[in-house]
């Protein structure tokens, strides 16, 4: 199969966009250990844990296989190497969106605008700077879209084989890949009905999809053989251990709607987002192939609806595939707008507005902090400015996990015990198991299913442990500390943590 991109100019421009994006993301990447889910990712990779402990849908096996390979590359600290996976995948995604627009819209400037708009968007950029699975997914998905376009342009079934294989890989990375898969099923049925596809070709596509999805399929089969429970295994594969209500949620409230629009506004903080709507209207004319345009519109709607009514705390990350689609239409709208209004200054204004996102991200955290805008956080993490951490996408100066761990380990008494929550346990384990700090300390948590170095404390055992050892909690707050400890004990602030003491009578 011959891939023709007109000339080497497509290859050169693709790698130029990739190189610039990779440099930006590598420079702004977090330098080491991370909080919460990203910290868990680093911990899992360090221990070669491909399955995880939160259910099959949260296993993301392809990402972890890549991470296990990347951890051996001698480039900076271990955590930085893992964070760089997102930086490289982010650069691939941006370059893929550029190439798709270059091929589909036929002009360089709209492709640049679409790529820059995505590359500098808050949610996307932020996840290019930390260890996360979403950006590997978008790197694969954006490649699917390129080959899907090439199929409609060249009418060669080989491109659909590549789409099927890549979609299998994407599902091995994240279950978000099932949304485009539904579109591909409908497309295949229509093409068979039109006699543009033969049934044997569809079977080969299914086989290639299964090959791409093999890392995930192996985990499913292994889980089924271990449990013998088909229903539970299927539920785990679709929803994980406890997220079926969130995935299937159809209810909305004003808080969710308000927060979602805040996410949009921060990710696209300039008037250029209006080009998205222009792109929707112009897509059927500029993208040339009606079926391809239809599929883009449908996928965009599916990603939007899925993320908008999702109820998990970090649902803003699930908008990332929608943002990729939105930036395709921003590029299309840019092409239509420039074509409609023949003004030599217009491209300059559009590109300046695209880069205006950077100063916005510098200013917004300061303004939000001064105005005491609520970010929905329930506590202050030691050494972490919540406004800078959440509202500024680059993470190069994010050394708060390292500072927290260093100060905590310097504070603890010998043979101490730390009761940590899901946000802080992974930096602590990182410091102990990867950096070799304080092997005498035992760190325990109820997050995930990882085995603690000692039995987790209970109301019956804590007094006995306190008689022999000092026990600390990271946060003496509901939701981050066992309630029986909050109800029956007092705390002494000791560095960044709290030492548990018996409650004084009276």
Mean pLDDT by 10 residues, the chain (506 residues): 58 95 97 94 95 92 96 90 97 98 92 97 97 97 97 94 98 96 95 92 96 97 93 92 82 86 93 94 86 94 94 90 97 91 89 96 94 83 91 93 94 93 93 92 88 89 92 91 92 93 76
In the numeric block, the tokens 């109301």 are attached to 459
Give the pLDDT confidence score for residue 1 in this predicted structure.
41
- Spatial distance between the Cα atoms of 135 and 295, rounded to a whole number of angstroms: 21
The residue out of 301, 333, 358 marking a domain boundary is 358
Taking alpha carbons only, the member of 246, 273, 459 closest to residue 360 is 273
Per residue, the 3-state secondary structure of 439-474, as one string, reads CCCEEECCCCCCCCCCCCCCCCCHHHHHCCCCEEEC
CA 98 to chain centre: 20
- Spatial distance between the Cα atoms of 269 and 308, rounded to a whole number of angstroms: 19
- Please give the DSSP secondary-structure letter assigned to residue 413: P
Q: Are residues 328 and 365 in the same domain?
A: no
* Tally of domains within the chain: 3
Q: Are residues 246 and 127 in the same domain?
A: yes
Q: Could you tell me if residue 2 is inside a domain?
A: no
Per DSSP, the residues of 267-297 read: HS-SGGGGHHHHHHHHHHHHS--HHHHHHHH
Q: Could you tell me if residue 368 is inside a domain?
A: yes
Helix (H) / strand (E) containing 380: none
Give the pLDDT confidence score for residue 279 in this predicted structure.
94
Question: Coil, strand, or helix at residue 15?
Answer: helix
Q: Are residues 190 and 218 in the same domain?
A: yes
pTM for the model stands at: 0.94
Give the pLDDT confidence score for residue 129 in this predicted structure.
97
Contact between 82 and 312 under an 8 Å Cβ cutoff? The reply is no
Give the pLDDT confidence score for residue 505 in this predicted structure.
65
Q: Are residues 324 and 367 in the same domain?
A: no
Q: Could you tell me if residue 297 is inside a domain?
A: yes
Q: Are residues 460 and 346 in the same domain?
A: no
- Spatial distance between the Cα atoms of 125 and 130, rounded to a whole number of angstroms: 9
Give the pLDDT confidence score for residue 382 in this predicted structure.
87
Give 427's Cβ-side CA count (13 Å radius).
Answer: 25
Give the structural domain span for 369. Answer: 360-391
Q: Are residues 145 and 256 in the same domain?
A: yes
Q: Could you tell me if residue 1 is inside a domain?
A: no
- Spatial distance between the Cα atoms of 264 and 272, rounded to a whole number of angstroms: 13
Give the pLDDT confidence score for residue 377 in this predicted structure.
79
Contact partners, residue 267, CB within 8 Å, separation at least 6: 121, 122, 123, 124, 319, 323
Give the pLDDT confidence score for residue 502 in this predicted structure.
87
Give the pLDDT confidence score for residue 503 in this predicted structure.
82
Q: Are residues 377 and 409 in the same domain?
A: no
What confidence tens digit (pLDDT) does each residue in 448-487 have?
A: 778 888 889 999 999 999 999 999 999 998 889 999 999 9
Give the pLDDT confidence score for residue 6 in this predicted structure.
52
């Amino acid at each position: 199969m011959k891939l023709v991109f007109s000339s080497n100019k497509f290859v050169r421009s693709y790698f130029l966009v990739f190189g610039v994006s990779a440099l930006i993301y590598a420079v702004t990447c977090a330098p080491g250990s991370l909080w919460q889910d990203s910290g868990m990712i680093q911990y899992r990779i360090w221990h070669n844990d491909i399955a995880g402990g939160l259910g099959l849908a949260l296993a993301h096996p392809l990402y972890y296989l890549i991470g296990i390979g990347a951890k051996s590359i001698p480039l900076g600290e271990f955590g930085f190497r893992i964070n760089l996976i997102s930086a490289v995948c982010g650069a691939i995604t941006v370059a893929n969106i550029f190439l798709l627009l270059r091929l589909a819209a036929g002009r360089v400037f709209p492709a640049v605008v679409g790529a820059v708009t995505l590359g500098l968007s808050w949610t996307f950029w932020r996840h290019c700077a930390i260890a996360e699975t979403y950006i590997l997914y978008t790197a694969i998905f954006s490649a699917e879209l390129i080959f899907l376009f090439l199929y409609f342009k060249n009418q060669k079934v080989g491109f659909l084989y590549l789409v099927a294989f890549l979609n299998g890989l994407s599902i091995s990375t994240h279950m978000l890949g099932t949304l485009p898969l539904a579109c591909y099923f409908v497309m295949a049925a229509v093409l068979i009905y039109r006699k543009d596809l033969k049934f044997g070709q569809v079977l080969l596509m299914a086989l290639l999809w299964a090959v791409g999805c093999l890392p995930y399929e192996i985990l499913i089969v292994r889980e089924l053989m271990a449990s013998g429970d088909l229903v539970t295994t299927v539920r785990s594969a679709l929803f994980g251990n406890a997220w079926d209500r969130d995935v299937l949620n159809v209810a909305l409230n004003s808080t969710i709607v308000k927060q979602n629009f805040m996410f949009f506004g921060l990710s696209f903080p300039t008037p250029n987002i209006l080009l998205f709507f222009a792109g929707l209207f112009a897509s059927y004319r500029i993208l040339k192939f009606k079926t391809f345009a239809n599929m883009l519109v449908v996928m965009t709607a599916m990603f939007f609806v899925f993320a908008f009514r999702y109820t998990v705390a970090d649902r803003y990350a699930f908008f990332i595939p929608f943002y990729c689609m939105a930036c395709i239409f921003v590029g299309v709208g840019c092409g239509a707008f420039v074509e409609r209004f023949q003004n030599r200054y217009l491209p300059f204004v559009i590109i300046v507005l695209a880069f205006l996102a950077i100063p916005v991200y510098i200013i917004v955290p300061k303004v939000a902090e001064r105005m005491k805008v609520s970010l929905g956080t329930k506590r202050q993490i030691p050494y972490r400015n919540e406004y800078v951490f959440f509202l500024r996408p680059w993470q190069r100066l994010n050394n708060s996990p390292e500072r927290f761990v260093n100060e905590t380990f310097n504070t603890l008494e010998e043979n101490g015990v730390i009761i940590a929550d899901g946000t802080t346990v992974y930096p602590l384990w990182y410091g102990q198991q990867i950096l070799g700090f304080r092997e005498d300390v035992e760190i325990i948590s109820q997050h995930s299913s990882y085995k603690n170095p000692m039995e987790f404390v209970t109301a019956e055992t804590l007094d006995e442990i306190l008689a022999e050892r000092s026990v600390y909690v990271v946060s003496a707050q509901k939701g981050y500390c066992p309630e029986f400890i909050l109800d029956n004990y007092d705390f002494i602030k000791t560095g960044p943590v709290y030492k548990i003491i018996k409650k004084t009578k009276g």
